């Protein structure tokens, strides 16, 4: 049992322990964190134990049953994100006082944007790096809700997400579009029936549907078309996997599904109006004011997508 302790001043040593604990949580355990941190597993374990003793809390369970955070560990992890994020923001703010752009900048990306030919995110990153070679990028790929939350709490400086419900606390920059179509797999009954794309709404609505779990254009389209969701997933790779099983139909970006279609593993189905368009935007917190580095990346995204 961990002896209770009161945390006084947060020292450099505490910060180091929190960074190690953060890495352990995000890697999903001690063994994976060993590679990320480039220190031995026993050393990682000792540092986590030192943090537990410092805080007087049991932060995680580790052993043969695997790694799992305790409720206290989850709260400490969230607090560590806020503290370390505030420190990065302070360093970036100080860096803004110098001519050279320095620090770490968080960039969030939505699932499967890289295969969209209309997306020029890579071009924007290249332009940004030429302007700010000393800035380290911390790239996160996540869900719409997670990325929005990351920008609002300051953990992510800029995110590229589908335009959906807007927040008064965020700025929005239109970037590019994406067309979503309904697909089935090669082993699905609709793959051959009625020429696939010629099947009517009644046939489509009789199918089990795989959709995204979070509030999004995908969820709105499922309700609008009256589709019967029988599987919930967090990303489009999960949707594609379930479509390929032949048991479900689902929406995918046309650019992402194209390789599966060309290989004969999927086909587009449903009436001509069975699809929807998504507009992607960059989002950034309105207050406090963005750092010079964040503003430079924002401008690079605007320039790459002709959004100036």
> For position 58, which CATH number holds?
1.10.10.10
1 is a domain residue: no
Q: What is the mean pLDDT of residues 12-41?
A: 86
> Are 59 and 183 part of one and the same domain?
no
> Are 16 and 58 part of one and the same domain?
yes
Cα 158 from Cα 192, distance rounded (Å) = 44
Residue with tokens 């332009």: 127
Strand pairing report for 135-142 and 68-69: unpaired
Q: What does the DSSP assignment read for 26-46?
A: HHTSHHHHHHHHTS-HHHHHH
CATH of the domain at 216: 3.40.190.10
Residue 267 CB contacts under 8 Å (≥ 6 apart), including other chains: 183, 184, 186, 191, 196, 197, 261
Q: Write out pLDDT tens, residues 175-214.
A: 999 999 999 999 999 998 755 556 788 889 999 999 988 7
pLDDT at 241 over 90: yes
More confident residue, 98 or 130: 130
4 is a domain residue: no
pLDDT at 170 over 90: yes
More confident residue, 195 or 103: 103
> Are 184 and 268 part of one and the same domain?
yes
> Are 141 and 290 part of one and the same domain?
yes
Work out how many domains the chain is built from and give that number: 3
Domain termination site, one of 62, 83, 104: 83
Residue 226: closest CA among 246, 200, 252, 244: 200
> Are 23 and 75 part of one and the same domain?
yes
Q: Which of 91-95, 170-174, 194-198, 284-288 has the lowest mean pLDDT?
A: 194-198
Domain termination site, one of 52, 83, 114: 83
Beta strand ranges found along 226-298 (DSSP E): 228-233, 249-253, 266-268, 275-285
pLDDT at 6 over 60: no
Residue 86 CB contacts under 8 Å (≥ 6 apart), including other chains: 154
58 is a domain residue: yes
> Are 191 and 234 part of one and the same domain?
yes
> Are 270 and 283 part of one and the same domain?
no
Q: Which of 15-24, 97-106, 142-151, 225-234 has the lowest mean pLDDT?
A: 97-106
154 is a domain residue: yes
> Are 208 and 129 part of one and the same domain?
no
Does an H or E element contain 51, and which?
Answer: helix 41-55
Domain termination site, one of 44, 62, 83: 83
- What pLDDT score does 259 carry? 96
> Are 206 and 256 part of one and the same domain?
yes
> Are 52 and 26 part of one and the same domain?
yes
**Residue 182 backbone zone (phi > 0: left; psi -120 to 50: alpha; other: beta):** beta
> Are 56 and 118 part of one and the same domain?
no
pTM: 0.71
55 is a domain residue: yes
3 is a domain residue: no
Inter-residue long-range contacts of 44-51, CB under 8 Å, 24+ positions, other chains counted? 44/20, 47/16, 47/17, 47/20, 47/21, 48/17, 48/20, 48/21, 48/24, 50/17, 51/14, 51/17, 51/18, 51/20, 51/21
Residue pair 180/277 in contact by the 8 Å Cβ criterion: yes
94 is a domain residue: yes
167 is a domain residue: yes
Q: CA–CA distance from 265 to each of 57, 134, 156, 162 (Å)?
A: 51, 44, 37, 27
pLDDT at 7 over 70: no
> Are 171 and 297 part of one and the same domain?
yes
pLDDT at 99 over 70: no
Residue 90 CB contacts under 8 Å (≥ 6 apart), including other chains: none
- What pLDDT score does 124 carry? 97
- At residue 217's C-alpha, the angle toward residues 216 and 223, to 5°, is 95
Residue 56 belongs to domain spanning: 12-83
């Amino acid at each position: 049992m961990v002896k209770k302790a009161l945390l006084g001043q947060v020292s450099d040593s505490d910060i180091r322990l929190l960074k190690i604990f953060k890495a352990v949580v995000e890697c999903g355990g001690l063994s994976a964190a060993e590679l990320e941190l480039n220190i031995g597993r026993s050393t990682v374990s000792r540092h986590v134990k030192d943090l537990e003793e410092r805080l007087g809390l049991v932060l995680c369970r580790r052993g043969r049953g695997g790694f799992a955070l305790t409720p206290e560990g989850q709260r400490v992890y969230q607090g560590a994100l806020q503290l370390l994020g505030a420190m990065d923001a302070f360093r970036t703010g100080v860096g803004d006082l110098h001519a050279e752009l320095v620090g770490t900048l968080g960039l969030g990306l939505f699932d499967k944007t890289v295969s969209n030919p209309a997306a020029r995110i890579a071009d924007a990153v290249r332009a940004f790096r030429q302007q700010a070679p000393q800035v380290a990028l911390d790239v996160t790929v996540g869900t719409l809700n997670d990325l929005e939350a990351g920008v609002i709490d300051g953990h992510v400086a800029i995110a590229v997400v589908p335009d959906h419900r807007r927040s008064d606390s965020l700025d929005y920059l239109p970037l590019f579009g994406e067309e979503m179509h309904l697909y089935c797999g090669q082993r699905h009954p609709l793959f051959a029936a009625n020429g696939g794309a010629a099947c009517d709404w009644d046939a489509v609505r009789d199918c089990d549907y795989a959709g995204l779990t979070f509030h999004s254009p995908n969820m709105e389209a499922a309700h609008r078309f009256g589709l019967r969701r029988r599987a919930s997933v967090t990303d489009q790779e999960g949707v594609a996997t379930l479509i390929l099983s032949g048991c479900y139909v689902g929406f995918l970006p046309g650019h992402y599904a194209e390789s599966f279609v060309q290989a004969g593993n999927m086909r587009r189905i449903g009436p001509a109006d069975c699809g929807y368009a998504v507009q992607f935007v960059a989002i950034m917190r309105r207050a406090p004011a963005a750092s010079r580095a964040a503003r430079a990346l924002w401008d690079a995204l605007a320039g790459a997508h002709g959004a100036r």
